[in-house]
Chains A and B, each alone.
Chain A
Amino acid sequence: MDNKSGGTMPASTKRMRTSADSYSRKRRVGVWLARCVLAVGFLAGLYFSVVPMGRAQARAVLILPDLLSASLPPWQAPAAEPISSVQTTMTSSTGTVYLDIYSPTARPPVVPGAWEGMLFIPGVGDERFVPQVVNLSKALARIGIVTMVMTTPALIANRLDVNDENAVVQALHVLQRWPGVDPKRVGFFGVSGGGALLSFAAADPRTEGQVAFVALIGSYFDATMLLENIGRRAQVVNGQMEPWQPTDYTLEVLTETLVPVLSNTDASLLLQAFGSGQEKPLSPDQVAQLSPGSQAFYHLLAGDQPGHVRANMAAMPAAAREHLADLSPSRVIGNIHAPVYLLADRNDQFVPASQSVSFAAALASLHRPYDFAEFGIFQHAEVRSNLSISPQVLGDSWHLFLLLTKALQVGT
Chain B
Amino acid sequence: MNNIFMLVIIWAMLGLLIGTLALAARLTPVSLAKYGWLWLILLGLGAALLGGGLGFWLFGPECATPMAIWVAVLAVCAFWLATARNTKTTSVD
A residues engaging B (CB < 8 A)?
30-35, 37-39, 41-50, 54-55, 58-59, 62, 78-82, 106, 108-111, 143-144
Contact = CB atoms under 8 A, between A and B. Distances in A.
B46 to A, nearest CB: 16
Given A110-B58, A144-B60, A42 B66 contact: no
Interface in B1-53: 2-3, 6-7, 10, 18, 21-22, 24-26
A168 to B, nearest CB: 28
Contacts of A44: 66, 69-70
A58 B67 CA distance: 11
A31 B59 contact: no
A42 B25 contact: no
Contacts of A48: 63, 66
A79 B25 contact: no
Contact of A35 (B25, B57, B61, B74): B25
Given A37-B21, A41-B70, A49 B26 contact: no
Given A79-B7, A81-B61, A58 B2 contact: no
- Please name the 9 residue pairs, one residue from A and one from B, whose CB atoms are nearest each other, closest first: A45-B70, A45-B69, A34-B25, A48-B66, A34-B24, A109-B60, A49-B67, A42-B73, A49-B66
A78 B58 contact: no
B63 A49 contact: yes
Nearest to B73: A42
Chain A at the B interface: SS class: helix
A111 B59 contact: yes
Contacts of A111: 58-59
B84 interface: no
Interface of B: 2-3, 6-7, 10, 18, 21-22, 24-26, 55-64, 66-71, 73-74, 76-77
11 contacts: A31-B25, A33-B24, A38-B73, A38-B77, A42-B70, A45-B70, A48-B63, A49-B59, A58-B62, A81-B61, A111-B59
Contacts of B68: 45
Contacts of B71: 45
B55 to A, nearest CB: 5
Contact of A38 (B18, B60, B61, B67): B18
A116 to B, nearest CB: 11
B75 to A, nearest CB: 11
Contacts of B3: 78-82
Contacts of A41: 18, 69-70, 73
B1 to A, nearest CB: 9
B73 to A, nearest CB: 4
Given A37-B21, A38-B22, 8 more contacts: A38-B18, A38-B76, A44-B69, A49-B66, A55-B62, A109-B56, A110-B59, A111-B58
Between B24, B68, B71, the greatest number of chain A beta carbons within 10 A of the residue's beta carbon is seen for: B24
A42 B66 CA distance: 9
